[in-house]
Amino acid sequence: MSTATKALHNRIALAFDFDDTLAPDTVSSLIESCGMDAEHFWQERVQPRVQDGWDPIPAAMYTLIAESRQRSDPAEKITRERLVDFGRNLTFFDGVPELFARLRRRAQETLPDIEVEFYLITAGIVETARRSPIAQHFRAMWGCDFHYTESGEIDFLKRIVTHTEKTRYLSQISKGLDNHKEVGRPFDVNRSMAADDLHIPLSQIIYVGDGMTDVPCFSMLNEAQGVAIGVFKTRTAQKWGEQNKVSAGQRVENLAPVDYREGSELLHSLTLAVEMLCKQIALRRQSQGE
Ligand SMILES: [Mg+2]
């Protein structure tokens, strides 16, 4: 390859947010499944902590830990087992279970030997996502993760993923630091890496998210010429923009209702994004051997 041509990476990645992107807000559903009213939990228990200076994500997770600790009946405690059961029974937005095979097939029809990888980056509880029926499709999943007591009760947060922290995991994907390679080596992500050595350049990553915790990822990919796609559930596209106060650098390529079925705008957008990246790689291949 000539030094005048861009580095070639035969791989693309799709990274997804979880809550309200692939499944309806799972943290709120978990709260309800633990016998609490979700609105009361967020407004009356989490919000006062936020007013007191807590970051919203650890505020919510600590509120869950405090709730479990005050329950005297062992059967009522919030345990890993409960999170696992909850995860196993999760349901997804329409078309999600078929999405991964569909996009991989489309990519391979465009460029037969392309590698397609899927990742999950959530500010919610990753244990529930890990046990969910779609977990097998992801090369790595990152999110808030608990340390548990010997009896399995949630005890402390061993990993916190917030909005800006999500961009760290885009860097990890780019540098090939997936779940196993990063364990025990949390600072490897900071090492600079030559473009040729990257696992996947950010420009070959598609990120899909629904809201405020995703804005830093949208910005990062916009800057790096990757693809950012926004989804919305009940709001209109215009309301999404207003609510998320998206500035020019944070805009997404497209904003579509969260419906991944055949014929939907969202599946069409993702298909176009996958085809575009595959064609870009095919174009760069023409320079190989020159
Ligand atoms: Mg979300």
Q: Report how far ligand 1's centroid is from the alpha carbon of 272 (Å).
A: 22
Sign of the C-alpha dihedral computed for residues 53, 145, 259 and 113 taken in this order: positive
* Per-residue pLDDT at 211: 80
Sheet holding 115-125, edge to edge: 154-159, 140-148, 115-125, 11-16, 205-209, 227-232, 254-257
* Per-residue pLDDT at 225: 93
* Alpha-carbon span 32 to 212, nearest angstrom: 23
Q: Report how far ligand 1's centroid is from the alpha carbon of 211 (Å).
A: 6
Across the range 224-243, mean pLDDT stands at 76
Tens of pLDDT, residue by residue over 12-21, are: 999 999 999 9
* Alpha-carbon span 22 to 15, nearest angstrom: 11
* Per-residue pLDDT at 1: 45
Q: Report how far ligand 1's centroid is from the alpha carbon of 70 (Å).
A: 29
Lowest mean pLDDT among 86-90, 178-182, 226-230: 178-182
Query: What is the DSSP code string of 150-168?
Result: TTSBEEEEEE---TTHHHH
Helix (H) or strand (E) holding 35: none
Task: Tell whether the model's pLDDT for residue 6 goes beyond 70.
Answer: no
Q: Report how far ligand 1's centroid is from the alpha carbon of 20 (Å).
A: 5
* Per-residue pLDDT at 177: 87
Q: Report how far ligand 1's centroid is from the alpha carbon of 290 (Å).
A: 44
Which of 194, 220, 196 shows the shortest CA–CA distance to 206? 220
Higher pLDDT, residue 5 or 254: 254
* Per-residue pLDDT at 5: 62
Tens of pLDDT, residue by residue over 116-136, are: 999 999 999 999 999 999 999
Task: Tell whether the model's pLDDT for residue 252 goes beyond 80.
Answer: no
Q: Report how far ligand 1's centroid is from the alpha carbon of 125 (Å).
A: 12
Across the range 214-241, mean pLDDT stands at 83
Higher pLDDT, residue 191 or 221: 221
Tens of pLDDT, residue by residue over 43-102, are: 999 999 999 999 999 999 999 999 999 999 999 999 999 999 999 999 999 999 999 999
Task: Tell whether the model's pLDDT for residue 205 goes beyond 90.
Answer: yes
Q: Report how far ligand 1's centroid is from the alpha carbon of 142 (Å).
A: 13
Residue 249 pLDDT level (bands cut at 50, 70, 90): low
For ligand 1, an ion, list residues with CB under 5 A.
17, 19-20, 210
Lowest mean pLDDT among 83-92, 97-106, 140-149, 192-201: 192-201
Is there a contact between 173 and 199 (Cβ–Cβ < 8 Å)? yes
Is there a contact between 127 and 87 (Cβ–Cβ < 8 Å)? yes
Higher pLDDT, residue 61 or 2: 61
Task: Tell whether the model's pLDDT for residue 10 goes beyond 60.
Answer: yes
Q: Report how far ligand 1's centroid is from the alpha carbon of 157 (Å).
A: 20
The two structure tokens encoding residue 151: 């009896």
Lowest mean pLDDT among 134-138, 167-171, 214-218, 250-254: 250-254
Measured CA to CA in angstroms, residue 204 lies from 21, 68, 74, 251 at distances of: 20, 42, 48, 17
Q: Looking at domain 11-25+92-285, does it have CATH number 3.40.50.1000?
A: yes
Percent of the chain clearing pLDDT 70 (strictly above): 90
* Alpha-carbon span 15 to 18, nearest angstrom: 10
Q: Report how far ligand 1's centroid is from the alpha carbon of 14 (Å).
A: 15
